[in-house]
């Protein structure tokens, strides 16, 4: 395509016949006839072969011979063809598939071929969602709660969320103004970014970070600015590192705590440092708090919005996917200043309409009372599983891992094996039938790591650790 947006076409003609090739664009696409019919190059080759036998010479030369007419350069309006169809948007070329979902899909495919793959890739716990919550959602379904809700969510749900935030997170928020239902944190993240960033605006993220951040920021037109978090500093920024990343285009810091993949739980000091940078440069902070209930060794998750002056610039994202093992429900919530919620509700009206009606009912029930013993017991056991994985990994020569402070991943350093993350994960999947996520897609600093989900069954964990040992 040239500067004026036209497509350069090489063409030759003879009488009514015209044959054309999109120059420098798609080698398999050609136009034949009065430029209306578009053939795949293969079809054109066949056509030419019928007339000329072998088709080894340069395409343009052959066309010229074929039509006994000179090649000429034309201008065509419209877009180039790609693989025989009109082109896809540029943004898909900048959006890799999710590494965790991709590996989990490969593992599922292998399992469907009766290969006993142990899948430690996606952050999905072994447990199903709790029965009492399932029953609340089923009851809602069976009693006609099957229609769209307000885009912001049902009042009952928003009310329960407000009470939970007050009770557990020390946040006092108006459910009608400052909270909305989302279809999980990912949906909340997209809505928040759509509300605050425009083309070219920069969002600072931790490197490594959750694999969907960069893709979502890109889809919303923004630019991701990854700022390394170093192991020596227990995977957290220093003030100088964060401050140095801010430019005139920075609009937002996107923070995850407890952090995926490193397991860091940010302390009051970390949050105050981030708050100071955000306030100095007038930035939004999006806090992905999906793992807020699962912190270990009596650590507590602290919401950035509780720090002085931060409620008015913090967008919090929470959900049920991890803590209640309700990933398939696609339910969560966002809390934020009223202006953000109003903007996000408009986007939600157009994108998803609303979160599911009966999923909101089930989730409201989950928050309506103190957590039941089976949920608390599940969390206690998750802590043991996380501890065991970290301890056992640290016994394997060549591997090391800081015990997660929260969340449920082991971020395993593989540098001493001499292998990079993709090669390591691929080899483990192929030879040991164990699915781990390579660290590279989490950020440039992740290539010496693989991520292992620790909340699988004890039997799977023991077998998986044995296979990792064998694979080295």
Ligand X SMILES: Cc1ncc(COP(=O)(O)O)c(C=O)c1O
The binding site for ligand X (CB under 6 A) comprises 123, 184-186, 210, 256, 260, 288, 290, 319, 321, 327, 332
Contact 336, 315 (CB under 8 A): yes
Helix (H) or strand (E) holding 375: helix 373-395
Of the pair 173, 255, the CB lying nearest ligand X is at 255
For helices 458-471 and 421-432, the axis angle rounded to 10 degrees is 110
CA–CA dist 208, 141 (Å, integer):
40
Of the pair 20, 412, the CB lying nearest ligand X is at 412
Contact 354, 149 (CB under 8 A): yes
Contact 327, 408 (CB under 8 A): no
In the complex, least distance from residue 321 CB atom to ligand X, rounded to whole angstroms: 3
Of the pair 284, 409, the CB lying nearest ligand X is at 409
Cα 407 → chain centroid: 17
In the complex, least distance from residue 129 CB atom to ligand X, rounded to whole angstroms: 12
Of the pair 22, 408, the CB lying nearest ligand X is at 408
Of the pair 64, 257, the CB lying nearest ligand X is at 257
In the complex, least distance from residue 101 CB atom to ligand X, rounded to whole angstroms: 9
Preceding amide of 469 cis, omega within 30: no
Of the pair 41, 291, the CB lying nearest ligand X is at 291
In the complex, least distance from residue 103 CB atom to ligand X, rounded to whole angstroms: 13
**Phi, psi at residue 404, to the nearest 5°?**
-60, 135
Of the pair 319, 439, the CB lying nearest ligand X is at 319
SS3 letters for 20-32? EEECCCCCCEEEE
CA–CA dist 114, 427 (Å, integer):
19
User: Residue 292's closest CA among 371, 191, 227, 359?
Assistant: 371
In the complex, least distance from residue 197 CB atom to ligand X, rounded to whole angstroms: 18
- Residue count (the chain): 472
CB burial readout 387-409, b (16+ within 10 A) else e: ebbbebbeebeebbbbbbbbbbb
Under DSSP, the state recorded for 295 is B
- Maximal CA-CA distance, the chain: 84
- Among all residues, whose Cβ is closest to ligand X? 184
CA–CA dist 319, 185 (Å, integer):
6
In the complex, least distance from residue 351 CB atom to ligand X, rounded to whole angstroms: 14
CA–CA dist 376, 326 (Å, integer):
15
Of the pair 21, 210, the CB lying nearest ligand X is at 210
Of the pair 136, 185, the CB lying nearest ligand X is at 185
In the complex, least distance from residue 124 CB atom to ligand X, rounded to whole angstroms: 8
In the complex, least distance from residue 257 CB atom to ligand X, rounded to whole angstroms: 9
In the complex, least distance from residue 286 CB atom to ligand X, rounded to whole angstroms: 11
């Amino acid at each position: 395509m040239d500067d004026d947006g036209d497509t350069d076409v090489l063409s030759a003609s003879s009488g009514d016949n015209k044959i054309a090739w999109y120059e420098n664009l798609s080698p398999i696409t050609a136009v034949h006839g009065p430029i209306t019919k578009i053939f795949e190059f293969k079809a054109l080759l066949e056509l030419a072969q019928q007339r000329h036998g072998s088709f080894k010479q340069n395409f343009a030369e052959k066309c010229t011979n074929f039509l006994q007419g000179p090649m000429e350069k034309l201008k065509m309006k419209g877009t180039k063809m790609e693989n025989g169809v009109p082109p896809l948007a540029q943004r898909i070329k900048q959006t890799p598939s999710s590494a965790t979902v991709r590996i989990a899909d490969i593992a599922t495919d292998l399992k469907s071929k009766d290969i006993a793959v142990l899948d430690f890739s996606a952050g999905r716990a072994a447990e199903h969602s709790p029965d009492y919550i399932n029953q609340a959602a089923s009851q809602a379904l069976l009693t006609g709660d099957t229609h769209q809700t307000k885009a912001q969510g049902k009042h009952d749900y928003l009310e329960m969320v407000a009470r939970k935030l007050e009770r557990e997170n020390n946040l006092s928020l108006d459910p009608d103004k400052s909270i909305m239902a989302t279809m999980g944190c990912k949906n909340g993240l997209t809505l928040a970014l759509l509300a605050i960033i425009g083309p070219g605006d920069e969002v600072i993220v931790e490197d490594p970070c959750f694999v969907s951040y960069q893709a979502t920021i890109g889809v919303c037109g923004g630019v991701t600015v990854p700022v390394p978090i170093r192991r020596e500093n227990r995977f957290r920024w220093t003030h100088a590192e964060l401050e140095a990343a801010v430019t005139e285009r920075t609009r937002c810091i996107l923070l995850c705590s407890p952090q995926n993949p490193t397991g860091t739980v940010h302390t009051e000091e970390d949050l105050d440092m981030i708050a100071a940078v955000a306030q100095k440069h007038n930035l939004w902070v999006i806090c992905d708090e999906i793992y807020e209930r699962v912190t270990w060794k009596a650590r507590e998750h602290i919401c950035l919005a509780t720090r002085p002056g931060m409620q008015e610039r913090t967008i919090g994202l929470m959900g049920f996917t991890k803590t209640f093992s309700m990933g398939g429900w696609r339910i969560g919530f966002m809390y934020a200043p009223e202006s953000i919620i109003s903007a996000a509700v408009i986007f939600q009206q157009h994108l998803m309409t609303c979160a599911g009606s009966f999923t909101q009912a089930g989730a409201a029930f989950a928050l309506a009372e103190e957590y039941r013993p089976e949920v608390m017991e599940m969390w206690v056991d998750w802590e043991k599983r996380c501890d065991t994985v970290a301890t056992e990994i640290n016994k394997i020569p060549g591997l090391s891992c800081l015990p997660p402070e929260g969340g449920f991943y082991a971020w395993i350093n593989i540098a001493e094996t001499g292998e990079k993350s993709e090669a390591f994960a691929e080899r483990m999947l192929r030879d040991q039938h164990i699915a781990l996520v390579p660290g590279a897609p989490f950020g440039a600093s992740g290539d010496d790591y693989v991520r292992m989900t620790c909340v699988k069954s004890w039997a799977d964990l023991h077998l998986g650790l044995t296979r990792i040992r064998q694979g080295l």
